[in-house]
Amino acid sequence: MVDHRRADARRNYARILAVAEQEVAAHGGGASLEQIARTAGVGSATVRRHFPTRHALLEAVSRERVEALRLRARDLVGQGESRAALLEWLDEVVAYCVTARGLAAALAYPADDPLHGDSCAATLEQAAEPLLRRAAQDGRVAAGVTVADLITLIVGIVLATEHHADPAGETHRLFRLAVEGLSPDRLPDRQENRPEGRRRSQSGGMDHDVTDPAPASGEQFWDEFYAAEERIWSGNANPLLVQEAEALPPGTALDLGCGEGGDAIWLARNGWRVTAVDIAANALRRGADHARDAGVGDAVHWERHDLSRSFPDGEFDLVSAQFLHSPVAQAGERETILHRAAAAVAAGGILLVAGHAGWPSWVSEPPHDVHFPTTGEVLAALDLEPGRWRVEREELIERDVTDPEGRPGRRADNILRLRRAA
């Protein structure tokens, strides 16, 4: 669209908008229009000529961020499990509202305000409608929920926590509490269908047993798995990781299938810069919260990947794949992921693969056939270039653990530690 304003008017508008962005970032939606005029070196009447109302000012300040959210909603349509895609977008709206002060205030105005037909709220409602419609059609969101409802919920939480000591943490905590209200009445019985072997680990780390038939998709399975309880794992690092990594000099690490972040947080506490990856958005949210509570939030970067389809960029001094077992994996999927893991190891770096060697002692009648690969099979599948890798440890380890009922048990695991040539 051609801008027919005079050149001096365009300059005034740009200067006022730049100052307004700074003032809103500092003071939120209540930023003083008079202070904006003084700082911009114009009269109050000039500010009001360009922005007749506070709403108009907040709309202009927020437009770029709203456009980014609109494009993100478009990208998520049709991706993964429908409820997970919707929640991922809502999480990003929450994050934007917390970091971009003034956005929540802009969204608080009615979307159908006749003076702002193309308002921020209207733009986001239109953008998210396909995400919500798909989730509702799949029975993954309660009937009657609207995008306007969800935006109102987010705005209320953000504005209520704006002056909290940790507004980001408190906003995400309250939003997680509210999110359970999105579940249709039939969903709570998923707790009854949760795999018995997937109770919180009693041995100090994540213990991905496979004891139930696979559902339709990885996103659906793991999102429902982590939704079953507020916390699944103990929060401690896997003992095999600790045993192998505690003597290594810290560097960059990639944690594949990070779950709620026990391994990633332990690595960060020991000086590593960690990229933590999982398919489940709610697991990553919990991990980020736990890392922040542990004081290492800045040392861990959280990424969502279905590792069968995408993989983090870069090379790492340590790539850790701890108990990367999944009941929804396709044939050859784990081997493909481990191939990519090996390719991500930097020169002189370590690939650490831990896996179960069989069912634990308390599973006397396995519910279905699962093949637990040996270290030899993992090595053969990796098909590493001769002379470029050295096997530093290849071992079957039996250890005492506690079963889900609190009774003593035994479990056998494989550990494979490979170093890439410098």
β-bridge partners, 322: 354
Total residues belonging to the chain: 422
**So where are the chain's domains?**
53-182, 239-420
Do 239-420 and 53-182 have the same topology in CATH?
no
Residue 79's Cα: distance from chain center in Å? 15
Reported for 158-162, long-range contacts at CB under 8 A and 24+ positions apart, including other chains, are: 158/94, 158/97, 158/98, 158/104, 159/104, 159/105, 159/108, 162/28, 162/101, 162/104
pLDDT for the residue 161 = 86
* Backbone angles phi and psi of 391, in degrees to 5: -80, 115
Judged by average pLDDT, the poorest of 233-237, 248-252, 309-313 is 233-237
Note the pLDDT tens digit of each residue in 258-298: 988 999 999 999 999 999 999 888 889 889 988 998 899 89
Question: In the CATH scheme, what is the homologous superfamily, with its name and number, of domain 239-420?
Answer: Vaccinia Virus protein VP39 (3.40.50.150)
Rounded Cα distance, 150 and 294, in Å: 30
- For residue 206, is pLDDT > 50? no
- Yes or no: domain 53-182 corresponds to CATH 1.10.3300.10: no
Rounded Cα distance, 174 and 157, in Å: 7
Higher pLDDT residue, 324 or 52?
Answer: 324
Note the pLDDT tens digit of each residue in 376-398: 998 888 888 888 999 999 999 88
Confidence of residue 55 (pLDDT cuts 50, 70, 90): confident
What angle do the packed helices 82-99 and 120-137 form, to 10 degrees? 160
Q: Which residue has the tokens 């489940």?
A: 280
Rounded Cα distance, 7 and 3, in Å: 10
- For residue 45, is pLDDT > 90? no
The two structure tokens encoding residue 44 = 């109050």
pTM, two decimal places? 0.52
